Amino acid sequence: DGGITQSPKYLFRKEGQNVTLSCEQNLNHDAMYWYRQDPGQGLRLIYYSQIVNDFQKGDIAEGYSVSREKKESFPLTVTSAQKNPTAFYLCASSIRWGSSYNEQFFGPGTRLTVL
Amino acid sequence: AQTVTQSQPEMSVQEAETVTLSCTYDTSESDYYLFWYKQPPSRQMILVIRQEAYKQQNATENRFSVNFQKAAKSFSLKISDSQLGDAAMYFCAYRSVGGGGADGLTFGKGTHLIIQP
């Protein structure tokens, strides 16, 4: 089945540690995105990538880093510089950037808790 | 930058009744896309309906329809014959048409829809 997978579902981190969230898609989509969701808030864009080996900062990129070495993978690293990393993280993809086929498909999310 | 506002943090409706969720947005662009996403307790984001700004006709998907008022920058979602499975958070979202600027969706803060049996 085609879709987006995120792992792990739940992740716990000690303060000062970096942690990497996985996002994989087998939809052959060009564009991928990372969003953060806090209680009572909508989703906010962290980073996005329109093609392999290229990515751009979103609205709240500070304290996060990404890579896009393969079309199907877009991992997100939450660094120790992120002051309040406890949140729900959602990965999404769309067939191509700027296309009329612009529906974003979402993964199931990762809940990150800093202890 | 674009902003999306959902002024109803929570709405409640009786099963089989009709409910309308409000969304307004602010943009200087003339062409864009608007979406309603549903997030049930599983937290999986599900696309409910999509509207292209250049289309005057309101989008409809089965029991879900929108009232798109471009001049007023309003994009409300109407759910007819509400069902228990419609209970969820509903998010309104905006996306620019490509060609420059940040990609990605801009979301409102959501409306929690409760269905009373």
Residue B108: CB atoms within 10 Å = 26
Residue A78 amino acid letter: V
> What pLDDT is attached to residue A100?
57
Give A4's pLDDT tier (boundaries 50, 70, 90): very high
Q: Is the pLDDT of residue B102 over 90?
A: no
> What pLDDT is attached to residue A79?
94
Contact assignment for A43 to B105 by CB distance below 8 Å: yes
pLDDT tens digit string along A82-110?
889 999 999 999 887 555 556 889 999 99
Contact assignment for A43 to B91 by CB distance below 8 Å: yes
Q: Is the pLDDT of residue A9 over 60?
A: yes
Between CA B51 and CA B68 the distance in angstroms is 8
A30 contacts in chain B (CB < 8 Å): none
Write down the mean pLDDT value for chain B. 93
Percentage above 90 pLDDT, chain B: 80
Between CA A114 and CA B81 the distance in angstroms is 42
Between CA B8 and CA B114 the distance in angstroms is 12
Q: Is the pLDDT of residue B17 over 80?
A: yes
Mean pLDDT, rounded, for B41-60? 92
Interface of A with B (CB under 8 A): 31, 33, 35, 40-45, 48, 50, 56, 58-59, 88, 90, 92, 97-100, 102-106, 108-109
> What pLDDT is attached to residue A7?
92
Residue A72: CB atoms within 10 Å = 16
> What pLDDT is attached to residue A99?
58
Residue of B nearest to A39 (CA): B109
> What pLDDT is attached to residue B112?
97
Residue with tokens 């000690």: A14
Contact assignment for B50 to A103 by CB distance below 8 Å: yes
pLDDT tens digit string along A18-71?
999 999 999 999 999 999 999 888 899 999 998 999 999 999 999 999 999 999
**CA distance, residue A108 to nearest chain B CA (Å):** 5
Please spell the DSSP secondary structure of B27-73, one letter per residue: -S-SSEEEEEEEE-TT---EEEEEEETT--SPPEETTEEEEEETTTT
Q: Is the pLDDT of residue B22 over 70?
A: yes
Contact assignment for A90 to B45 by CB distance below 8 Å: yes
Residues 6 or more apart whose CB falls under 8 angstroms from that of B55 comprise: none
Contact assignment for A43 to B98 by CB distance below 8 Å: no
